[in-house]
Amino acid sequence: MGIFEYFRPPGAARDKVAIEIDLAAGVLEQCLVCRGISDQQRDERLPAAELLVHQRFDHADPSIAVFAGDREDLLRRLRSVRDRFDYRCACHSAG
HSE-up of 88 (CA within 13 Å, CB side)? 6
**3 Cβ partners below 8 Å, 6+ apart?**
none
Minimal distance, residue 39 CB to Zn ion, in Å: 13
Nearer to Zn ion, 38 or 52 (CB): 38
Radius of gyration over alpha carbons of the chain, in Å?
A: 15
Kindly identify the residues of this chain, within the stretch 73-92, that bind Zn ion according to CB under 5 A. Answer: 89, 91
- C-beta separation of 21 from 78 below 8 A: yes
Instruction: Give the span between the Cα atoms of 45 and 79, in whole angstroms.
Output: 11
- Closest distance to Zn ion from the beta carbon of 86 (Å): 11
Pattern 19-48, Zn ion, x by CB under 5 A: ------------x-xx-x------------
Nearest residue (beta carbon) to Zn ion: 31
Give whichever of 23 and 75 is closer to Zn ion, judged by the CB atom: 23
Binding site for Zn ion (CB under 5 A): 31, 33-34, 36, 89, 91
